[in-house]
Structure 1
């Protein structure tokens, strides 16, 4: 089910067959298979109402945000679309609740690592055995896409693999598979040629290094903090002084491939419905919705804002943005608390690293309140995991 949510193979098959997936509706076969999976998850939750009850009890920010999404039907520019998307997001959220209470964090990490090892391994095989499928054409000739529809999708999962496999190397048991996964992630990052994925991967590496240093030399944390701020400030100054050269070296222009003009164009639309937004999924409707005006102004056809925070404002207004930030902050604080109490471990590395990954990633893509979206699933799972009381996981989670 995780592989389906990742968008592995089926969208690529549609694209190669000349019948690409609609960016707004998605793939019908994938939706049907996921619907069957969600039905099974609901049945399992109903069989164990304690899971569902604890999910409701601990997930207040999530359920308030979900309720606001359903209420947005009342003012949405496309009420039917909004209701359908809100219901689909709720199903994805319930799957995240189930995973949080069904598996311990370490078990979930192993499940995710196994899935990533499978999809990255298949992607590597597709590049060399089926290059017509595994390599992109114009305008990204030769870039790896593996079993995914685009190089950026493959690159992001490779960056995620860096975090997951590093965390798994800190867990008990055999390490050979996770070392292979880490090496495979690095090779695929190079082959995918995705600049944003490289930024994510290096961010993950710096987070891992910072967590290890802070725990190893915890008596010197003020010095390390000052050192980190100095390095960060110096790096920021270097980037500011050389950003045009660096972006050119990465194959980007100085406006992040048109994203900055897009973001500036969206600001008046956000201001028009500042508090409520256009309803979940009510803005980006192609030529049938408010997005048509944006497309005319920017000269291309973005399917979303390429920024999760702006998209949340467009969907649910400033109220929705504040609720989304509440959810993210709660996850972040809970992850840091786990780290301070439990030390540097595979679990805490994954939790803190995932928080940073999601915060950074939402500056270039949209992952808030997205149905069948792995990163939204992560946010729900993470919030449920970190807010469980200490010792609750051992009493509730069922051993595999």
Structure 2
């Protein structure tokens, strides 16, 4: 009888071990696959030769909505099974208040249908990214998963350059921006987006090297750096170097307030010397003295129009993601017809105000600017101050800086928004839980 019991017990243990192995594979495959989907999307290597090419996030793509809807259910279920306490910590007053204001702007939107559709995808992406960072059981797992995803993305982009250069490199025949001919874009729709993602991937390479994956990390750094150079993303390259320098300083400075001054002052200056130049003549004069295009490649016209439009709806804005390309833009004067076809204002903070009003912008600054920095400080003070905290800080800070020139905050499944959110939620969890090695 004892032999039968022992045999039965062994079978039960073996079955449990096998189930655990299967779940480990499911967790890893879900993390890597979802991250690659967030980066590459369901529509990689788009042709830019069609003048009718629209915004891939118009809210009418059933496949994208269905995929992220299913992934949100899967990743949340896995996160609850793996670490339900982590998800519960997201019910903070700041997140709840921000979510409530978001819903109010949908109700008051100029185009409620568009706002609801776009918000539904944004909510799914938020749920996916919040859950994704809870899937690894250790920093070792997370490090390997990030490295696998980064190398896979680089492989896809480089294969595109080799096998389908007309779909991976900007061409002189592209009707929209022929001046970008020769710039690499890989699987992405524009070289600016490709350059920004390569910077974030480069940060992951540095993280891999610092965590012990020397060979994989060095390969990621080399391949991402080369792609960044050939994409000619000057803004991303400059911001990359600035972020690496400024975040390195935080290793020697422990004060939260001094860290905040060092990291956030450049963010303030970037916005003052960009959108601020169309608000104050003195700032415009200063920008003309600096060694770059004072019109920011024509962005000043967009900023001026956006600010003028914002004045009419300072409190509530025009509704979540429902200003550009909507009925809110009417009776355009001569010379401003382009505004009816613009996709965004090339400034994430200004676009947030247009969609959610000034209160929405202030809440976004609270949850995406102030709290993540505070979470990094808490993680550092709590002993979670290793390579993981640093790479999350770098991705987060780079996203903040880049948003002074680009718009991706709350932008549904945008790869920059997707990666930025991983850093925001990662810092949130590191501030509350001890990361297992």
The 3-state SS of whatever aligns with 2:134 is helix
Contact conserved, 1:52 with 1:97, CA < 8 A, in 2?
Answer: no
The 3-state SS of whatever aligns with 1:314 is helix
**1:372 paired residue number:** 413
Q: CA RMSD in A?
A: 3.5
Contact conserved, 2:87 with 2:130, CA < 8 A, in 1?
Answer: no
Instruction: Provide closer, same or farther for how the CA distance between residues 384 and 154 of structure 1 changes in structure 2, counting only shifts above 3 A.
Output: closer
Return the match for 1:131 from 165, 168, 174: 165
- 1:135-187 deviations in Å (ceiling 9; x for gaps): 11122111111122211121111111222211222113x31011011011111
Return the match for 1:116 from 147, 150, 153: 150
**2:199 paired residue number:** 159
Tell me how far apart the structure 2 counterparts of residues 245 and 14 of structure 1 sit (CA, whole Å).
36
Contact conserved, 1:77 with 1:282, CA < 8 A, in 2?
Answer: yes
1:34 shift after superposition = 2.7
Q: Which structure ranks higher in relative contact order (CA pairs < 8 Å, sequence separation ≥ 6)?
A: 1
Instruction: Provide closer, same or farther for how the CA distance between residues 45 and 169 of structure 1 changes in structure 2, counting only shifts above 3 A.
Output: closer
- 1:241-290 deviations in Å (ceiling 9; x for gaps): 8966732xxxxx3210111221122112112111111110121125x432
Instruction: Provide closer, same or farther for how the CA distance between residues 243 and 163 of structure 1 changes in structure 2, counting only shifts above 3 A.
Output: farther
Return the match for 1:246 from 288, 291, 312: 291
Relative to the length of structure 1, the TM-score reads: 0.80
- 1:189-240 deviations in Å (ceiling 9; x for gaps): 110011222122212321344245x27xx89xx9xx99xx9xxx9xx9xxx9
**2:29 paired residue number:** none
* Structure 2 unmatched runs, 5+: 1-33, 172-177, 274-284
1:65 shift after superposition = 1.5
Contact conserved, 1:66 with 1:86, CA < 8 A, in 2?
Answer: no
Contact conserved, 2:129 with 2:418, CA < 8 A, in 1?
Answer: yes
**1:84 paired residue number:** 117
1:176 aligns with 2:210: no
Relative to the length of structure 2, the TM-score reads: 0.74
1:318 shift after superposition = 0.9
Tell me how far apart the structure 2 counterparts of residues 310 and 95 of structure 1 sit (CA, whole Å).
26
1:23 shift after superposition = 4.3
Tell me how far apart the structure 2 counterparts of residues 48 and 25 of structure 1 sit (CA, whole Å).
34
1:294 shift after superposition = 8.8
**2:13 paired residue number:** none
The 3-state SS of whatever aligns with 2:45 is helix
**1:210 paired residue number:** 249
Instruction: Provide closer, same or farther for how the CA distance between residues 19 and 41 of structure 1 changes in structure 2, counting only shifts above 3 A.
Output: farther
Tell me how far apart the structure 1 counterparts of residues 231 and 407 of structure 2 sit (CA, whole Å).
20
1:289 aligns with 2:323: no
Return the match for 1:362 from 396, 403, 406: 403
**2:351 paired residue number:** 311
Instruction: Provide closer, same or farther for how the CA distance between residues 82 and 242 of structure 1 changes in structure 2, counting only shifts above 3 A.
Output: closer
1:130 shift after superposition = 2.5
Aligned length: 372
1:312 shift after superposition = 0.7
Instruction: Provide closer, same or farther for how the CA distance between residues 18 and 272 of structure 1 changes in structure 2, counting only shifts above 3 A.
Output: closer
Return the match for 1:41 from 44, 58, 75: 75
Contact conserved, 1:162 with 1:186, CA < 8 A, in 2?
Answer: yes
The 3-state SS of whatever aligns with 1:77 is coil
